[in-house]
Amino acid sequence: MLITKMKKYHSLLAILFLFFTVTCKEAPAAQVVTENITTSLYETYDTYKEPSLDRRRIKHHELQPLLQKFAAKEGFEVNKVGTSIEGRSLNLVSLGEGEIDVFLWAQMHGNEPTATQAIFDILNFFDSDDFTEEKAAILKELRIHFLPMLNPDGAEIFHRRNRLGIDLNRDALRLQSPEGQTLKRVRDSLEADFGFNLHDQSTYYNAERTPKPATISYLAPAYNYEKEINPVRADAMRVIVFMNTILQEYAPGQVGRYNDDFEPRAFGDNIQKWGTSTILIESGGYPSDPEKQEIRKLNYVSILSAIYTIATGNYKAIDIAEYEKIPHNDRKLVDLKLEGVNYELAGTTYLMDVAINQLEVDEEGNNDFWYSSRVYDLGDLSTYYGYETFNAEGYTIIAGKVYPEEVADEEALEGLDAAQLLKEGYMYLRMKDIPEEWLCSVVPLHIASQTYEITELDLWVGENPSFFLGKGDVLTHAVVNGFLIDLSKEISGFKNAMIYR
């Protein structure tokens, strides 16, 4: 038994070595250089990153110049394959001459754009003069098709659902949406061998029983309630195992696996059922990466690596048993966790943990956002983890005060020393005329109107978390709109406080 396992292990290593190793033609014969192609993809990524798509809230009109650019280039074919409810085009970009069809579709949910950005990075890669041997091998064997934005109406308002108000990923049976009809028609016309179903997931998912975010999560969807594994689904599992191996190099321990319960209305499950080896990729969270640009890079590297292994066929020898070893997704992450803090209520001091999430609120036009944080949970949160965790043992939660002098205008606000006011225990200030265009406070103090009633601190799930932490009479930290500020240091990186009218 041990010998058999060792043979399988060495077989997998040999396959990975064949994939990773390339010979640089430019080097002299006596100086043959071998290098890890995936490392090269990672290290040269900025060369291909599409600079016009540098934030998550991208719109349909921003893609059109890029699509027109590729339509004019040799080797790229761009076709309109459908129209959204509001009349926005659904476009398919195809390249390659092979007999194996690979179909990638992104932004089925309008507020899940990470892979959309990565697709244009990948297209830039194929348009470059680099990696000529690898690209030639890919394009000889594969015909690759990209549908970068399936739900442009949802993207316009940065919303999950389409204009009809439905979840496109639950429309595979009724096909009541034009976007869903387009996805089905394209899949059927291609009879795609492989499909990549590209999504974003909540940043609050973690790899099961670890504090690490599920930066990327995978799933080879089931095609029936019995979760049977036929050759089509098995090939999806093999490619996922390969991609997980790649990602462990750059995000170790930060890969999760979705629950594979069969969902009869979902496109992924049905496309698997229809004969396309379907790989679900979900982009989650990464520390200090609110715009998911590092995750975008990981998409680029892992998807290109997967495309290459499909072209070479190396994935075929991978043991699908490795798929089950990828940890499940869990949802036990919060933005800020205070551990073991003292909280006084009705004359009694209680010891508890506080979990806080920093929630995004879209600005008008859905091009940017600000934060309105909330207490997520209270009590024994020992099974939860924080992107930022503070050991609050010996600290007490202390309510913030209202600054006694009214601020006349923006000039007077800029003249205040906010850091000093925080050290003195002030959390709120009143302003005579708050400009209508202000959505949030750029200083680390909440701004309230003359008439707004500021209530006493009462921690509760769903309430805005704003208070001080102290030891004895000394204030050491401020939690302003869910962001922890160390009062002994210069304030930097603070996002925003609230405005109460």
Residue ranges of the domains in the chain? 36-330, 333-500
Helical packing angle, 2-20 and 293-312, nearest 10°? 110
Rounded to whole angstroms, the Cα distance separating 494 from 498 reads 12
What is the reported pLDDT for 26? 37
User: DSSP H helical segments within 191-319, as ranges?
Assistant: 231-247, 267-273, 293-312
Task: Give the contacts of 419 (CB within 8 A, at least 6 positions apart).
Answer: 444, 487, 490, 491
pLDDT band, very low/low/confident/very high, at 36 (cuts 50, 70, 90): low
Look at domain 36-330 and name its CATH class.
Answer: alpha beta
Output the CA–CA distances (angstroms, integers) from residue 211 to 56, 255, 281, 484, in the order listed.
25, 12, 21, 19
DSSP secondary structure code for residue 188 in this structure: H
Phi, psi of 418 (to 5 degrees): -60, -40
What is the reported pLDDT for 31? 24
Q: List, for residues 275-318, the tens digit of each pLDDT value.
A: 999 999 999 999 999 999 999 999 999 999 999 999 999 999 99
Alpha-carbon dihedral sign for residues 479, 287, 329, 253 = negative
Q: List, for residues 134-176, the tens digit of each pLDDT value.
A: 999 999 999 999 999 999 999 999 999 999 999 999 999 999 9
Cα radius of gyration rounded to whole Å, the chain: 26
Q: Is the pLDDT of residue 24 over 70?
A: no
Tell me if 365 sits within 8 A of 344, measured CB to CB.
Answer: no
Rounded to whole angstroms, the Cα distance separating 18 from 4 reads 21
Question: What's the whole-number mean pLDDT along residues 97-113?
Answer: 98
DSSP secondary structure code for residue 441 in this structure: B
Structure tokens at 415: 């003249």
Alpha-carbon dihedral sign for residues 47, 49, 51, 54 = negative
Q: Is the pLDDT of residue 184 over 50?
A: yes
Tell me if 297 sits within 8 A of 42, measured CB to CB.
Answer: yes
Structural domain 333-500, CATH architecture: Roll (2.30)
Q: Is the pLDDT of residue 340 over 60?
A: yes
| Widest Cα–Cα separation across the chain | 81
Q: Is the pLDDT of residue 21 over 50?
A: no
Strand order in the sheet with 255-257: 77-83, 89-95, 142-147, 100-106, 194-200, 277-283, 216-219, 255-257
The tally of CA atoms less than 13 A away on the side-chain side of residue 90 is 27
Instruction: Report the helix count and the strand count for the chain, using DSSP H and E.
Output: 13, 26
> How many whole angstroms from its chain centre is CA 161?
17
Rounded to whole angstroms, the Cα distance separating 13 from 218 reads 22
Q: List, for residues 412-440, the tens digit of each pLDDT value.
A: 999 999 999 999 999 999 999 999 999 99
Q: What percent of the chain has pLDDT over 70?
A: 93
Question: What's the whole-number mean pLDDT along residues 243-248?
Answer: 96
pLDDT band, very low/low/confident/very high, at 6 (cuts 50, 70, 90): very low
What is the reported pLDDT for 20? 42
Instruction: List residues bridging with 144 in a β-sheet.
Output: 95, 102
Q: Specify burial of residue 311 (Cβ count, 10 A radius: 0-12, 13-18, 19+).
A: buried
Rounded to whole angstroms, the Cα distance separating 369 from 216 reads 24
pTM for this entry: 0.91
pLDDT band, very low/low/confident/very high, at 16 (cuts 50, 70, 90): very low
Q: Is the pLDDT of residue 15 over 70?
A: no
Q: Got the DSSP string for 387-435? A: EEEEE-TT-EEEPPEEPSSPB-SHHHHHTS-HHHHHHTTEEEEEBSS--
Rounded to whole angstroms, the Cα distance separating 343 from 470 reads 11
Strand order in the sheet with 446-448: 401-402, 426-430, 446-448, 499-500
Q: How confident is the prediction for the chain on average, in pLDDT?
A: 93
Measured between its terminal Cα atoms, the distance across the chain in Å is: 71
Element (H, E) at 292: none
Say which residue the tokens 């049977």 belong to. 228
Closest CA to 339 of 385, 307, 370: 385
Q: List, for residues 56-86, the tens digit of each pLDDT value.
A: 999 999 999 999 999 999 999 999 999 999 9
User: DSSP H helical segments within 201-248, as ranges?
Assistant: 231-247
Rounded to whole angstroms, the Cα distance separating 410 from 443 reads 11
Rounded to whole angstroms, the Cα distance separating 390 from 356 reads 12
